Amino acid sequence: MSQSLPPGPDGIPVFGNTVQYLRAPCERRERWAEEYGSVVSVDILGMDMYMLTEPGLIKQVLMTDTGKYKKVESTKEHLERTIGDGLLLSEGDFWKRQRNLIQPAFYPDRLRDYADVMTDCATTKADSWDPGETYDVEEEMRSLTLEILVKALFGTDVDPDTRATIRDAVKALMLRTKPSTLPVVYFLPDWVPLPVNIRYNRGIRQINEAIDELIQLRRNEDEHGEDLLSILIEAETDEGVGMSDETLRDEITTMLFAGHETTALTLTFTWDLLARNPQKEAKLHDELDEVLDGRPPTFDDLPDLEYTEKVVKESLRLYPPAHDIRRQTTQEVTLDGYTIPEDTIVSMPLWVLHRDDRWFEDPEAFRPERWTDGFEEELPEFAYFPFGGGPRQCIGKTFAVNEAKLTMATFARQYELDHVEDGDLNIMAGVTLQPRNGLDMAVKER
């Protein structure tokens, strides 16, 4: 028999639990899970939201009953002007068609080509660093992963000025995902002449014009290249139907917008964790010295970079950039015996699941060694899901993991990174999990 309402924390009039959440979103969600169990009722600005902290319930939403849920309407409204109806936001039959058309762009033979771009860009960035200098590692990683994605999407032969325009436009759009700007973004229209909106509107115009121009350029070529845009232009359904220019632009913008930040943040958090755990860093260096022997990594090295992959997995466990996956019910559903009404948001906080001591011994510790085959086989499905799961699992998962491994290998074979200031990493939870004030680190040559 279904119960009417799950338990949850008391709130205050109008604001509900909003103030509690904003002060410490990650820690607060952990506390609520401990106090109230697998389904927690939370009130955010008068909006009911149900937080799920049991792997079986996550599987129910993302896999078993996926047809009963959709993307959150408010999130779609917030992002649609930026990325259109791309794979991240689209639904139903159109989403299925797009997923099928795009999937071949991430097959293993394509990933080999992208690996060369990843290593080349990472090597160029690493060579630009001066030992003894201090860098904001978050900003450096964002710049690097964006450069990798631009070259993978459009090829290395694109005019440098066009690439620069696209990079600058994406950076302007990403300002609106910062936790500090979210209140402005959500509650004020785009036309209000604030600096963040002015840069955003200019960025929208610039990126749309640049991508439209590149689409026409590729369509007019006699032979298409190996870049992602060319692959998508050639993609067709069994009936011979390809993507329109508008659809292509939406998918490309989605990849630019969503595809570089999460990997940049993964790398940022990994550098922080390695600096705090010198024994783990030394083990990583030992593997790189043995596998690479001083040369840059290649696609063929990826299977041998086993400890490097464990480092990345453990970093994604402790600091999942996409820290909270949300869905909205399309009908009344039952979760763990509770009745959840139609048009209600359910929240699946990766931060909480990934730090649950039922699944992870000493969950706050950075222990890459835990990721053995036996451990992963025994781990409940959806106790760890940094790339989501089910039919809407991130299509670029392998691309992102390869990028993180090759970038880690490229930098760590040359450098050690040390903190400039003592103290714990101060993080913010907005659209993604981010360091509050960047991450300044000093570069030391090995």
Let me know if residue 7 belongs to a domain: no
pLDDT of residue 226: 80
Beta bridge partners of 136: 440
**Could you tell me which residue, 179 or 101, shows the higher pLDDT?**
101
Provide the CB-side half-sphere exposure for 396 (13 A, CA).
Answer: 23
Q: How many residues does the chain have?
A: 446
Let me know if residue 40 belongs to a domain: no
Q: Which tens digit of pLDDT belongs to each residue from 5-42? A: 799 999 888 788 888 887 778 888 999 999 999 999 99
Q: What are the φ/ψ torsions at residue 336 (nearest 5 degrees)?
A: 55, 35
pLDDT of residue 421: 86
CA distances from 190 to 76, 115, 186, 396, 429 (A): 15, 38, 9, 30, 23
Q: What are the φ/ψ torsions at residue 390 (nearest 5 degrees)?
A: 75, -165
pLDDT of residue 184: 61
Average pLDDT along the chain: 91
pLDDT of residue 428: 85
pLDDT bin (cut points 50, 70, 90) of residue 197 is confident
Let me know if residue 32 belongs to a domain: no
Q: Which of 72-81, 102-111, 176-185, 372-381 has the lowest mean pLDDT?
A: 176-185
Range 307-321 average pLDDT: 98
- 3-class DSSP string for 114-142: HHHHHHHHHHHHHHHCCCCCEEEHHHHHH
pLDDT of residue 383: 98
Geometric angle at alpha carbon 173, from 210 and 80, rounded to 5°: 85
pLDDT of residue 190: 73
- Evaluate whether 133 touches 442 at the Cβ level (below 8 Å): yes
Range 323-332 average pLDDT: 96
Dist CA 121 CA 116 (whole Å):
9
Dist CA 228 CA 249 (whole Å):
12
Q: Which tens digit of pLDDT belongs to each residue from 368-393? A: 999 999 999 999 999 999 999 999 99
The secondary structure of residue 300, as a DSSP letter, is G
CA 242 to chain centre: 28
243: its two tokens? 């993507």
Does residue 2 carry a pLDDT above 60? no
- Evaluate whether 383 touches 356 at the Cβ level (below 8 Å): yes
Does residue 1 carry a pLDDT above 80? no
pLDDT of residue 129: 97
**Could you tell me which residue, 354 or 198, shows the higher pLDDT?**
354
Per-state percent for the chain, helix, strand, coil, to nearest 5: 55, 15, 30
pLDDT of residue 354: 98
Let me know if residue 36 belongs to a domain: no
Residue-range definition of the domain harbouring residue 93 = 54-445
Let me know if residue 96 belongs to a domain: yes
388: its two tokens? 């989501």
Let me know if residue 340 belongs to a domain: yes
Does residue 233 carry a pLDDT above 80? yes
Closest listed residue to residue 228, CA positions, set 241, 214, 238: 214
CA distances from 141 to 209, 250, 408 (A): 26, 24, 11
pLDDT-above-70 percentage for the chain: 96
CATH of the domain at 214: 1.10.630.10
279: its two tokens? 């024994």
- Evaluate whether 274 touches 395 at the Cβ level (below 8 Å): no
The answer to whether the predicted template modeling score (pTM) of the entire model surpasses 0.85 is: yes
- Structurally, how many domains does the chain consist of? 1
Q: Which tens digit of pLDDT belongs to each residue from 131-148? A: 999 999 999 999 999 999
pLDDT of residue 185: 61
Let me know if residue 60 belongs to a domain: yes
CB-based contacts of 366, cutoff 8 Å, min separation 6: 273, 276, 277, 280, 314, 315, 318
Task: Say whether 92 sits in a helix, a strand or coil.
Answer: helix
Q: What are the φ/ψ torsions at residue 418 (nearest 5 degrees)?
A: -120, 150
Let me know if residue 277 belongs to a domain: yes
